[in-house]
Amino acid sequence: MNRENLTVSVIIPSHNRSYSLRRALDALHSQTYPIDLIEVTVVADSCIDDTLAMLKDYQAPFKIQVIEAKCRAASIARNTGAASATGKLLIFIDDDIEPTPPLVESHVRIHQQRPGCAVIGPYPPKLQGGTRFFDVTVRAWWEEKFYEMSQPAHRHTYQDLLTGNLSLDAELFASTGGFDSGFGQGTAHEDYEFGLRLLKANIPFAVAADAVGYHYEHETNNLDRSFRRARAEGRSDVLLGQRHPELRPTLHVGDYETPYSLVDRILVALVFYWPAALDLLVLGLRRSLDLLEAVRMRGTWRWLNTKLRGYWYFRGVVDELKTRSGISSFLQEGPARADLAENEIEIDLQQGLEAAEQRIDAERPAGIYLYYDKLTIGHIPPEVGAEPLRGVHLRTILALHLAEPLARAMAVNGMPHSSESIATQPLLAFEDRVLAIK
């Protein structure tokens, strides 16, 4: 891609958030990327507020097109925007995201460096010092998520594909079929489903650390909305499992087939026999969260909030699968595990870490059996919904999970003499780090 002629289409789906949308548009005025190469496509999805009137009078230094549609789903709205976009690079941002000046330029730069990637930009919540338990929980989750994704040794999974700040080559997006329109109103995780299809098509993920957009989630997000979201996630996990059966053993749906705790067993039984009465009880418990926060009982608040989210998630599962037998059939019809054994390799670490990393990068296996000479170090198992292993993953996995068997194997084989292969030298230095970690 050539920065001088790469045109960019920023696609913003919006539903009844004219104030947030205006803030996002205003922030795009200050982009460091040439403004004449940027167009903005706003998909006004079933808006009944003043969004359309605001857009009609909006003055922008970039080309802006407005599509009035009745999509009633983020997946369809994004596809609609992409279909009308003319840029070679598509950048999707949510209407409650405020782009920082280098956002577009940073996305473009990563695509220049790594063509053919799906690029995710961070969008940490802008909570303006909020101290509510809910705000703190949300902020901590997002900060940890983006921190983990930004680490060089992070192994991306389909759950890293986040559409609040995402870019793809326009032709690549079209060739993948875009977002699944079956994830319609009342569902979520259309981004996860898209991410899984991208990984299956060997399309890698990358993070543009400087492509920051601030997420004003506090304006629309609260406890009650999070419970509605949990119900939508329950429905969506069923859809995910139906489209990608290999995921079924990993989804939280299975937590409710044979619930472990007494509370969860009671919850599951009541959902099927007295759902209306249980909904009333849950609404009462929801009010208890406010009381728990007022008396600063954070631990109890966190426990109850988790249980209530679990309840609404399960209600979403039941919305789709209806009965206990439906849940059992859903889980049993999927594979007990994904058979990825044919994509596993064996590596002898006696040849050195650099040689092992180069082989991993060349073969991109799903899993690895590790040895040191004839001694078994361990197994890096395939991970459903994750990218193939890269060389950069190896040292972190060894240090965190296989340090002790590696150190033992190296001790058994003795320290290399000066006449031995220089390929062993990186392992010597690594052994010191392993022992320090342990």
DSSP state string for 188-226: --HHHHHHHHHHHTT--EEE-TT--EEE-GGGT--HHHH
276 pLDDT band, cuts 50/70/90, is confident
pLDDT of res. 251: 94
Q: Are 425 and 357 found together in one domain? A: yes
Give dist(CA 8, CA 103) in Å, integer. 12
The pLDDT tens digits of the residues spanning 97-109 come to 999 999 999 999 9
Q: Are 412 and 387 found together in one domain? A: yes
Q: Are 307 and 417 found together in one domain? A: no
Last residue of a domain, one of 181, 206, 221: 221
pLDDT of res. 266: 80
Instruction: HSE, CB side, 13 Å, CA atoms: give it for residue 204.
Output: 15
> With 50 as the cut, is the pLDDT of residue 420 above it?
no
**Residue 398 domain flag:** yes
- Over the range 414-434, which residues count as b (16 or more CB within 10 Å of their CB) and which as e? eebeeeeeebbebbeebbeeb
H/E run at residue 14: strand 8-14
Mean pLDDT of 219-237: 89
Last residue of a domain, one of 333, 353, 377: 333
Give dist(CA 407, CA 140) in Å, integer. 35
Mean pLDDT of 241-258: 91
> With 70 as the cut, is the pLDDT of residue 2 above it?
no
pLDDT of res. 422: 33
**Residue 428 domain flag:** yes
438 pLDDT band, cuts 50/70/90, is very low
Q: Are 115 and 253 found together in one domain? A: no
Give dist(CA 106, CA 191) in Å, integer. 21
Please tell me the total count of domains within the chain.
3
pLDDT of res. 216: 87
H/E run at residue 293: helix 275-294
pTM (predicted TM-score): 0.89
Which of these, 127, 123, 147, lies nearest to 137 by C-alpha position? 127
413 pLDDT band, cuts 50/70/90, is confident
Give dist(CA 183, CA 174) in Å, integer. 18
> β-strands 8-14, 63-69: how paired?
unpaired
224 pLDDT band, cuts 50/70/90, is very high
3-class SS at 245?
Answer: helix
> With 90 as the cut, is the pLDDT of residue 275 above it?
no
Domain of 299? 226-333
Lay out the sheet containing 165-169: strands in order across: 63-69, 38-45, 8-14, 89-93, 165-169, 118-120, 205-207
Distance of alpha carbon 399 from its chain centroid, rounded? Answer: 25
> With 90 as the cut, is the pLDDT of residue 219 above it?
no
Tokens of 26: 């205003």
Q: What angle do CA 10, 14, 18 make, to 5 degrees?
A: 110
The pLDDT tens digits of the residues spanning 167-190 come to 999 999 999 999 999 998 889 999
Q: Are 168 and 51 found together in one domain? A: yes
Q: Rounded to 10 degrees, what is the CA torsion of 388, 394, 400, 403?
A: 140
Distance of alpha carbon 402 from its chain centroid, rounded? Answer: 27
Q: Are 183 and 233 found together in one domain? A: no
Distances (CA, A) of 107 to 8, 28, 92: 10, 14, 11
The pLDDT tens digits of the residues spanning 358-404 come to 999 999 999 999 999 989 999 999 999 999 999 999 999 999 999 99
